[in-house]
Amino acid sequence: MEGNNKQFIVKNWGLIDYKQAWEQQEVLVQEVNTIKLANRDLPLEKHQATPNYLIFCEHPPVYTLGKTGDQDHLLASKQELQQKEISFFNTNRGGDITYHGPGQLVLYPILDLENFFRDVHRYLRLLENAVIHTLMDFGLKSVVIQGLTGVWINPSHPIHARKICAIGIRLSRWITMHGLALNVNTDLSYFQHIIPCGIQDSHVTSMEAELGYQLSMEEVQNKLQAHVIQLLSLSHHSRPE
């Protein structure tokens, strides 16, 4: 029944254009929404379970701007983007501007949060915690900064604070879409053409930059997937943060 499904369908989309991934997310969101709407007219014992998807992928170089973002945080002109073969999209997620590209692990959870809890802030903290646990598996200590969404390395020193994971989501009828982008083996030079997440003088890093070697994307994905599933599966037993 709706509200009881704690199972996950994991999809690997590989290297996929951002627009195509966005459209495919919308299809899955509509699928979940259709089930939720149909359940309204059915007795509880006949409710169909809503699915939970975890979608992993990478994108060709692209800048995306959240619905509350500032266009001025894109520092490159349209001509420069064309020359560098970088796409640009205004999106319907939260947050400001960010970069996606090869070597960056993107996770798009399409979840019916009513299967777990109805608290958007708790959901954001859960995603952050999953990333923190994943980085710890590779010997990297990371934290969150109060008032900011995402995961950081060494935030106590403003000059040396480095963002390693950006998060931007959309929520409709408690169905999530968009998600997080963890810099694994990312080419960080692309961040020079934006003000990442709209934070002036913000520095960005990757797991490769911190550890000094390239990592297996599959290994990082497996760790992150396990932590997200574990935290969501346990969430209905714990109190909201």
Domain positions in the chain: 9-235
Q: What is the pLDDT of residues 152-204, one digit of tens each?
A: 998 776 667 899 999 999 999 999 999 999 999 999 999 988 876 656 667 89
Give the whole-angstrom CA distance, residue 50 versus residue 221. Answer: 24
Task: Mark whether 197 is an active-site residue.
Answer: yes
From the list 54, 182, 197, 224, the catalytic residue is 197
What's the pLDDT score for residue 198? Answer: 57
Measured distance CA(203)–CA(114) in Å, rounded: 36
| Alpha-carbon gap, residue 122 to 125, rounded angstroms | 5
> What is the per-residue pLDDT for 68?
80
Residues in the chain predicted with pLDDT less than 50, given as ranges, are 1-2, 237-241
Q: Measured between alpha carbons, how far is 110 from 223 in angstroms, rounded to an integer?
A: 19
Range 9-235: architecture per CATH: 2-Layer Sandwich (3.30)
Identify the H or E element spanning 164: strand 162-172
Cα 94 from Cα 226, distance rounded (Å) = 25
Residue type, position 184, single letter: V
